[in-house]
């Protein structure tokens, strides 16, 4: 399955730790991330990550295109709810696209862990039918 990984700056270390803790599950899937997040995950976990541009340079839009083409099966987008910035439009677009295409989405650690455990159990096998 194709898994998208994005994290606001204040959540990048949390994303690294999540990927480290669930490395065995994630290693069986294709990972996509914005540049800095992907680089940090690769450096600290040994996982292979296909990287887009940095989020503020268009990486979020690249991820949105992949979602719009139904090429993401699960998205973990760790957001900082206390952050108000110019990315709000991009974030809202990603959330909307996930809803439109029925892509499981986590925006916090608790939901990310629940989705990864469900992924490991095979609960998202239906995504392969939707994608084909």
Q: Is residue 114 part of a domain?
A: no
H or E segment and range at residue 35: helix 35-45
DSSP 8-state symbol, 108: S
| Model confidence pLDDT, tens digit, residues 49-80 | 999 998 888 888 999 999 999 899 999 999 98
CATH code of the domain containing 20: 3.40.50.1380
Q: Is residue 34 part of a domain?
A: yes
The pTM of the full predicted model, rounded to 2 decimals, is 0.92
Q: Is residue 99 part of a domain?
A: yes
The residue segments making up the domain with residue 102 are 2-57+64-107
Q: Is residue 119 part of a domain?
A: no
Residue with token string 């439109």: 100
SS3 label, residue 68: helix
Q: Is residue 131 part of a domain?
A: no
| Model confidence pLDDT, tens digit, residues 98-128 | 999 999 999 999 999 999 999 999 999 888 7
Q: Is residue 39 part of a domain?
A: yes
Domain count, the chain: 1
CA distances to 28, 55, 103, 132 from 44, rounded to whole Å, are: 17, 20, 27, 33
């Amino acid at each position: 399955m194709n898994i998208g990984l994005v994290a606001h700056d204040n959540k990048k270390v949390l994303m690294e730790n999540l990927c480290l803790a669930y490395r065995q599950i994630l290693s069986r899937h294709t990972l996509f991330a914005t540049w800095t997040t992907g680089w940090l995950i690769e450096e600290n976990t040994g996982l292979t990550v296909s990287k887009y541009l940095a989020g503020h340079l268009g990486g979020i839009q690249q991820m949105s295109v992949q979602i719009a083409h139904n090429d993401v099966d699960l998205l973990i987008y760790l957001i900082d709810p206390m952050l108000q910035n110019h990315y709000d439009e991009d974030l809202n677009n990603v959330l909307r696209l996930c809803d439109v295409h029925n892509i499981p989405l986590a925006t916090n650690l608790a939901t990310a862990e629940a989705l990864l455990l469900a992924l490991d159990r095979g609960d998202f096998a239906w995504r392969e039918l939707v994608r084909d």
